[in-house]
Amino acid sequence: MPSSPACEILPWHQDLWGVLAASPRLGHALLLAGPAGVGKTRFADALGRHLLCATGSACGQCRSCHLLTVANHPDLVRCAPAPGKTEIPIDDVRELTAFLTLTSHLGRGRVAIIEEAERLSRAAANALLKSLEEPPLGAHLLLISHAPERLLPTVRSRCQRVNFPVPAWEEGLTYLQSVGCPQPVAALTLAGGAPLRAAALTAADLQMGEDLLKALEDVRSGRLDALAAAEVWHKIDGHKAFAVLTALLARAIQRTVPVPSGDRPDPLADRLQTLVVGLDLRQIFGLWDKILDHRGLLDAPLDRRLVWDEVFLVWQHMSHQTA
């Protein structure tokens, strides 16, 4: 089924949309799983529009579609972590499940969208189970999760899982160019290939990526000592910098694989390929794992300098082994 303009289906979701929107046996509970920035929320919005549309095609013209456009539809509810809160509390889920049992205002059923579902508290997740096991007639639950492995197994097992992988690199670049992203290659690299996350990056984010790549290059070449690099970077937003660092290393690892001859020129990727040439791939993966582990220490009561010291010292040691 083709999508209407109101659906805003992203290019890399067209095939999936065609399957789900045309399915006569769509599950009452879907788990939309995948990394942040690939468009899961947009897809959920489009699916909710499709389910509630008077014509069943997200026409964009009926009363239901107009109410959805102005975010005032009585048969749709959203649930997400409150600003500053780490969990979705049980009271929010109780309100959501009560909503699902009510009679539809416009006769097309009811839809509930839970964003960042992995952040449901244990009590909230358990409260959701009854609606998953015994869904009210005409009710649809759409759970969106960046980390589905953190959901209770009992919740995951009662949902129809729909996976949203990172789209092909060229597809992501084409999208960013179509929306006017000024530095699509750098943005997509720093976003780990997730186009919507890339489109949201600021100039400051892109500059951080450039500065961190330069620091890695300088430490590798010996122009900069590891501890001197750590002295600079421990003063910077650690979570954001570590996210950028893991994205750079992930893209560098990708560049160890031969590049198809039809790929577009990619100066940043060429720099990343040069950065890791001659290094032991197992060591690069080891450093990547270490950085992921250390991200959890950034909020611990210890000197962040020690975390950055270890990262750059390991990188320097790897580099000297191939010098």
Domain boundaries in the chain? 5-163, 202-321
DSSP alpha helices (H): ranges in the chain? 14-21, 40-52, 63-69, 90-100, 122-133, 153-156, 169-178, 184-190, 195-199, 203-221, 226-233, 238-254, 267-276, 281-295, 304-321
Question: What's the N-to-C CA distance of the chain in angstroms?
Answer: 57
pLDDT number for residue 1: 32
pLDDT number for residue 292: 81
Domain 5-163 has CATH 3.40.50.300: yes
Q: What residues contact residue 87 under an 8 Å CB cut-off, 6+ apart?
A: 81, 119, 120, 121, 124
pLDDT number for residue 195: 96
Quick check: helix, strand or coil at residue 56? coil
What whole-number distance in Å separates Cα of residue 319 and Cα of residue 298?
25
What whole-number distance in Å separates Cα of residue 194 and Cα of residue 187?
9
Give the C-alpha distances (Å, rounded to integers) separating 250 from 4, 147, 190, 231, 281: 36, 18, 10, 24, 11
Pick the CATH number of 202-321 from 3.20.20.30, 1.10.287.40, 1.20.272.10, 3.90.1150.10: 1.20.272.10
Name which of 245, 211, 220 is nearest 313 in CA terms.
Answer: 220
pLDDT number for residue 265: 54
Looking at the whole model, is its pTM more than 0.85?
no
Q: What residues contact residue 30 under an 8 Å CB cut-off, 6+ apart?
A: 47, 140, 141, 142, 143, 159, 160, 161, 162
Rg, C-alpha atoms of the chain: 23
DSSP-assigned beta bridge partners for residue 79? 114
Name which of 121, 36, 123 is nearest 86 in CA terms.
Answer: 121
What whole-number distance in Å separates Cα of residue 162 and Cα of residue 307?
37
pLDDT number for residue 59: 86
The three-point CA angle 137-138-142 to 5° equals: 115
pLDDT number for residue 304: 79
pLDDT number for residue 257: 65
Per-residue pLDDT tens listing for the chain (323 residues): 333 444 579 999 999 999 988 887 788 999 999 999 999 999 999 999 999 999 888 888 999 999 998 999 999 999 999 988 889 999 999 999 999 999 999 989 999 999 999 999 999 999 999 999 988 999 999 999 999 999 999 999 999 999 999 999 999 999 999 999 999 999 998 998 999 999 999 999 999 999 999 999 999 999 999 999 999 998 888 888 988 898 888 888 877 765 554 455 567 878 888 898 888 888 888 888 888 887 767 766 667 788 899 999 999 999 887 65
Q: 3-class secondary structure for 148-174?
A: HHHCCHHHHCCCEEEECCCCCHHHHHH
DSSP-assigned beta bridge partners for residue 110? 139
pLDDT number for residue 246: 87
pLDDT number for residue 6: 41
